[in-house]
Structure 1
Amino acid sequence: MELSEAFLLDQIPLVRRAVVPTTLKQAYAAASLVIDKEPILSVESAKANRGRIIQWAVDLAFEKLVDSGQFGVDRCWRLFERPTGRYLEVLFSHSVLTISQVAHPDKQPRDVKFRRNKRLTSQISMEFMREDLGEWNGAPHILLLHGHQTLDFAHLAIPHPRHSEGFQHRSPNLMLMAHSVPQSEVPMEETDVEAVMTLKEEIDRLRRDNE
């Protein structure tokens, strides 16, 4: 197992991933209900902004999911670099997740500055422990990709530091997984566990050094 895959499994195990499909379905349904009931949103000029309503519904759904203790350990809202608004961060023990609605699940979201900065902290490899990282920009970044106008896919992914190269690891389509909570998971190999523990210890060290 690649370290990036093992790290993602450590941060968001299958039992936590199982809540994602239902949460997204409920958010998309809520967005459709709002759009159908509000005449203003039926005009042609509003139809192109359907994705924005979906985005707000998804943000609200994951706020509630985090607050219920079913996903992540905390959450916060960050300003975009410009700033033109805020985006939701879901915090895990050694990583940060952001949510993106995308048209193509095999490509990273568009290369805006805040994602570029986060991408540079997401080099999940054993070389990470041997490189001079310079300025510490925060914990590794995980993406939750979903969409686009219809809920055909949802993936967890660790972006490659180079935008054009896609992902270091991307999960299978979560919309196709069983929505019931898995009773057990296949344990990781001992070498994978050790590699993930080493990576997490290095992240902890960098956090301490940059407090």
Structure 2
Amino acid sequence: MAKKRRRDPDDAGGSSSRGPPVATTSGRLGGGAGASDDWQTARRSWAAIAEVLGPAAREKRIWMPFYYDGACAEHLRELGFTRVHHKREDFFVQVRNPKFLKKVDLILDNPPYTSPEMKEAVLRALASTGKPFVMLLPISVLHVGFAREVLDTDKLQAVVPRRVYVRKTGGEEVPFKYLCWLCCGVRLKRDLILIDDDDDAAAAD
């Protein structure tokens, strides 16, 4: 890989060579990708979306299909989600398992999106379940044609954080922009919700 000046991941001027989880396979994130592609969504980012989803979501049976190091499920459990299914399983197998899906109320995760083909495959599979879902994706997913073709746009909503924090296992948190939580069938109070992160709140105090 050619050496280039690494952009600040929080730099509005362009994309970074680093980013949230990407992979070419389902199941464990990074199944064939290099270590630099493996990222865990930080607890504070889960806390932000949990606040938007509201207290009722904590009672739902949550499926987190995309496994990295298991920490994301622990973050949700610490936030009061007691019924979280997060195991080292193949998403594209489980998503076709009607017996398993009967036990799922909400699909919530940060999926692999190493390519447009992967994003499309994940969204098509999610749509086929008929289950409500909340997925952390590049905000560009709102522009692409296949998302409008695959998903019921009457049920789509978006939660846009100013920054999303991710980390390597045991590493420091890194902020990223240009991501959104794409929600389908969740019935939030508004179709577009903008949220600040805790750094912004601290600065305002």
Q: TM-score range by the shorter chain?
A: 0.3 to 0.5
TM-score by length of 2: 0.32
Give the number of the structure whose alpha-carbon radius of gyration is greater: 1
Greater RCO between the two (CA within 8 Å, min separation 6)? Answer: 1
TM-score by length of 1: 0.31
Tell me which protein shows more helix as a share of its residues.
1
